[in-house]
Amino acid sequence: MKIALAQLNYTIGDFAYNTKKIIDHIIKAKKQGSDLIVFAELAVCGYPPRDFLEFEEFIDLCEQSAQEIAKYTMGIACIIGLPVKNNLVAGKDLYNAAYFIEEGNIKNIVKKALLPNYDIFDEYRYFEPAITFNCIEFKGKRIALTICEDLWNINNNPLYVSNPMDELIKQQPDLMINIAASPFSYLHDDERVETLSKNASHYKLPLLYVNQVGAQTEIVFDGGSLAFDKNGNLLDEMMYFEEEIRVYEFTDNKLQGLKPIKHQTVSDIEQIHDALILGIKDYFRKSGFKKAVLGLSGGIDSAIVCALACRALGPENVMAVLMPSKYSTDHSIDDAMDLVNNIGCMHEIIPIKEAADVFDHMLAPAFQNLPFNIAEENIQARIRGILVMAMSNKFGYIVLNTSNKSECAVGYGTLYGDMCGAIGVIGDVYKTQIYQLAQFINKDGLVIPVNSIVKPPSAELRPDQKDSDSLPDYDQLDKILFQYVELKKSSTAIIAQGFEEGLVSRVIKMVNSAEFKRYQTPPILRVSPKAFGMGRRMPIVGKYLS
């Protein structure tokens, strides 16, 4: 039996696009001699559809697409993921399911049992868990088909009280297939390989796993579909961050012609780089946008975002706006122009001194001669926000936000100023990782100017301003933030690791006090195990750990 895995990039709710893509790959797999082609979890509608699932028409369109796909399964079977209606009154109205289609007919419906309800996942909001399990009979073989999380309950701290495979194994299957929508983080590929390997070795069955690829707003899917033998040895690993179809020969209850290999290991920074480019590219393509605009300060954060945008969209589609203040140094403009010249993007230089002076004059009576402080600083940041938004409105550019995760965490940014934008490109990348990302971008030639990397970071909103005036050293700050945000450690636990008590208390208070700002920022491309946004839900007025 020849089995094709189709690792594809779907668009949520674009039924015509998704259906055509699935049909095109069915035809391609058939030409390659495949007997079965397997698509990802909720492939028909795209994942995650979120509250689209509450529209009855949306579910009907999923079924119509499946019926159209079925017409192309003469001589080849397929597995597709889609939501299906629950005909019982009790329970949720839908199942997260998969159709097994053969010779134009839906022969089996497999329903997901383990519904993740943590971090970015919210499946129990919509779906009823499966309670019955049956293998698929195909060409004299039994296939144990599961859906994503159904294979993730095989660790020392299980989230669920049962495993679907414990039931399916009683029917003596010959092969496991798992269809997934498994999001990217720079740690998740290793976890994925380990978990799936444990399943194969535990149940003593070969395993084929297909993941989707592509970005859906802030969530990036990295592909990396996998094949294992019955001993849990990794036999094959499909490409990451790219679409691919690959055919496997399953004969004598083995995946033929494959030898054990090692998991492809690449650095965290390279994975983050590739994920961010895919995230930018898909945000624009799936939203119907073509051109981006951002403020380019001469600092490292905006330089990174500009370089990534140029790689994702082409430099001809990126507008960098240089907005020097009266406190900006000449080298900041020079550094920004060096980047522009290195990558060839569009640019405009619009000084903000004149606008800031007008605001100072206008507000002088109301400010009652009080000394210069954060009010005047933030006015300048908001002038910059107005300018990039004006370019967006005038020319149809989409604004890229350039705040990093360290800044987002502690609220070091100005609402409606440098925190504006349609998508946060590096809001899940700590400042210390930003420097590593710059080195990676420069590995084949100078892109990010050296001075942007080595000079002390500054918002340049007051004389001789440095980030270090307001923030702890980034090396210390990021370590504390990682413990608190990603690992969810308390202040007591962090202090016990050797961090100074006052510093830890200060950082955690800054994080909690900035929650109201994060509620008003753009969606952030998720590359870490715990990103700000839909995967981290904190009360704004809570006092715990403040």
Burial class (CB in 10 A: 0-12, 13-18, 19+), 508: buried
Joined together, the tokens standing for residue 135 give 């293998």
Binding residues for ATP: 295-302, 402
Burial class (CB in 10 A: 0-12, 13-18, 19+), 221: buried
Q: Are 44 and 66 in contact (CB under 8 A)?
A: yes
DSSP-derived letter for residue 289 is -
Q: Is 119 left (phi over 0), alpha (psi -120 to 50) or beta?
A: left
Q: Which segments of 229-334 are extended strands (E)?
A: 234-237, 244-251, 254-255, 292-295, 318-322
Q: Are 110 and 98 in contact (CB under 8 A)?
A: yes
Beta-carbon contacts of 141 under 8 Å, excluding residues fewer than 6 positions away, are 1, 174, 175, 250, 253
DSSP secondary structure of 373-417: -HHHHHHHHHHHHHHHHHHHHHH--EEEE---HHHHHHT-S-TTT
Q: Are 270 and 240 in contact (CB under 8 A)?
A: no
DSSP secondary structure of 211-231: --EEEETTEEEEB--EEE-TT
For residues 147 and 42, what is the distance between their CA atoms, to the nearest angstrom? 10
For residues 130 and 124, what is the distance between their CA atoms, to the nearest angstrom? 12
Joined together, the tokens standing for residue 262 give 């090692």
3-state SS class at 350: coil
For residues 366 and 423, what is the distance between their CA atoms, to the nearest angstrom? 35
3-state SS class at 96: strand
Joined together, the tokens standing for residue 182 give 């498994």
| Owner of token pair 């938004």 | 389
Q: Give the active site residues.
A: 41, 112, 148
For residues 429 and 512, what is the distance between their CA atoms, to the nearest angstrom? 19
How does strand 213-216 pair with strand 318-322? Answer: unpaired
Beta-carbon contacts of 434 under 8 Å, excluding residues fewer than 6 positions away, are 300, 301, 304, 404, 426
Coarse DSSP helix, strand, coil percentages of the chain, rounded to the nearest 5 percent: 40, 20, 40
Binding residues: 118, 182, 295-302, 378, 402, 407, 517
> Inter-axis angle of helices 300-313 and 268-287, to 10 degrees?
60
Length of the chain: 546
Joined together, the tokens standing for residue 390 give 């004006």
